[in-house]
């Protein structure tokens, strides 16, 4: 698909090919993987500015709401993007991109969505030390904690998170241990302040995305339903209270959404995203990436072959459109 997108993009940019423009729009509207690939293509600064000013590059936020299972094509592992490039790709992935200049100028005509990357700590794990993460529930913002997992460095220098085994992050010996969960708490106060200052009724959506991959491991035959999942929860609570009441606090979440992917051993990568409307009362977002064995167990289950990288949170502001009722 990457070669197809590159060809269409070249035709739109250089030849002003309307048929290519239409085909490109349809791909970006209908296929989340196309939006992800396009975001990674547009990392060259000159090409980025040129294309973001082109009204033709349009993509639509995935409207699916429930957990789904999908399969992604194999593709080479890429180095994580630098921060300015993450901002650029965030403008493309999962949003309506209109006529965007440096200041995000809206396109003429009907209102369109605007997106920006919400910088989360260590989203690509490059700035983290190689080794295990804290084995506990996070109690402050901006740290990855959870069940047994570790940051590893590949031969090419890329760092990513490896899930080691399932566990119960609360340490409850009678609790379930069917999944390996890794969490990060996000303070939403900045978003709330911005929305209040603008006195805007626009709808704000948070989109969490993550790239999973799976290597062959000794226990693969025993884990036929193994899947990777990314989940976003919104709470109105203090950070420490969420950990103390986990997992029962889930039922008190203001909103939540998740997406799952199943990869066969040896599949390079698959990117998934979960979108959740930001409710006005939400004060904290809890991000979770995990691997679930789908096996009821109270004892740890070794994993070792599942990895996650490129965790991103994108804020999408969608203007409220007028509604006209017709009899």
Q: In the prediction, which pLDDT does 199 show?
A: 66
Q: In the prediction, which pLDDT does 124 show?
A: 95
Q: How many residues does the chain have?
A: 327
For 131-318, CATH gives 2.60.120
What does the alpha-carbon distance between residue 185 and residue 284 come to, in Å, rounded to a whole number?
Answer: 7
Q: In the prediction, which pLDDT does 322 show?
A: 52
Q: In the prediction, which pLDDT does 40 show?
A: 63
Q: Delimit the domains of the chain by residue range.
A: 2-60+81-113, 131-318
Cα first-last separation, the chain: 45
The strand pair at 255-261 and 227-235 is best described as antiparallel
Give mean pLDDT in consecutive 10-residue pieces for the chain, a chain of 327 residues: 78 75 83 75 43 34 35 39 41 35 35 82 96 96 97 96 96 90 95 76 91 93 94 95 94 96 89 93 96 94 94 88 47
Chain position carrying tokens 């084995």: 135
Q: In the prediction, which pLDDT does 270 show?
A: 87
Q: Is residue 279 a contact partner of residue 255, using CB atoms and an 8 Å limit?
A: yes
Q: In the prediction, which pLDDT does 174 show?
A: 83
Contacts of 243 (CB under 8 A, 6+ apart): 136, 137, 138, 139, 170
Please name every residue paired with 142 in a beta bridge, in sequence order, or none if there are none: none
Q: In the prediction, which pLDDT does 120 show?
A: 92
Please name every residue paired with 187 in a beta bridge, in sequence order, or none if there are none: 284
């Amino acid at each position: 698909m990457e070669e197809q997108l590159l060809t269409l993009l070249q035709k739109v940019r250089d030849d002003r090919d309307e048929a290519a423009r239409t085909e490109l729009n349809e791909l970006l509207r209908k296929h989340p993987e196309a939006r992800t690939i396009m975001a990674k293509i547009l990392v060259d600064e000159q090409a980025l500015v040129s294309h973001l000013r082109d009204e033709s590059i349009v993509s639509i936020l995935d409207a699916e709401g429930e957990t789904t299972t999908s399969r992604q094509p194999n593709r080479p592992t890429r180095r994580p993007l630098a921060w300015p490039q993450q901002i650029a790709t965030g403008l493309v992935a999962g949003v309506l991109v209109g006529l965007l200049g440096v200041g995000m100028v809206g396109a003429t005509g009907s209102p369109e969505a605007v997106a920006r990357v919400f910088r989360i700590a260590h989203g690509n794990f490059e700035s983290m030390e190689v080794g295990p993460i804290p084995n506990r529930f996070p109690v402050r913002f901006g740290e990855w904690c959870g069940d047994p997992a570790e940051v590893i460095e590949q031969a090419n220098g890329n760092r990513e998170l490896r899930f080691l085994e399932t566990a119960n992050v609360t340490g409850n010996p009678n609790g379930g241990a069917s999944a390996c969960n890794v969490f990060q708490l996000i303070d939403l106060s900045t978003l709330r302040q911005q929305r209040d200052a603008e006195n805007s009724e626009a709808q704000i959506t948070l989109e969490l995305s993550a790239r999973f991959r799976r290597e062959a491991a000794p226990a693969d035959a025993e884990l036929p339903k193994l899947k990777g999942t990314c989940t976003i929860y919104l709470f109105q609570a203090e950070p420490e209270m969420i950990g103390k009441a986990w997992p029962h606090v889930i039922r008190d979440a203001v909103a939540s959404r998740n997406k799952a992917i199943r990869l066969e051993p040896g599949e390079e990568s698959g990117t998934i995203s979960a979108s959740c409307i930001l409710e006005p009362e939400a004060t904290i977002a809890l991000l979770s990436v995990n691997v679930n064995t789908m096996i009821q167990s109270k004892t740890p289950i070794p994993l070792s072959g599942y990895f996650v990288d490129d965790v991103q949170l994108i804020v999408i502001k969608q203007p409220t459109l007028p509604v006209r009722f017709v009899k």
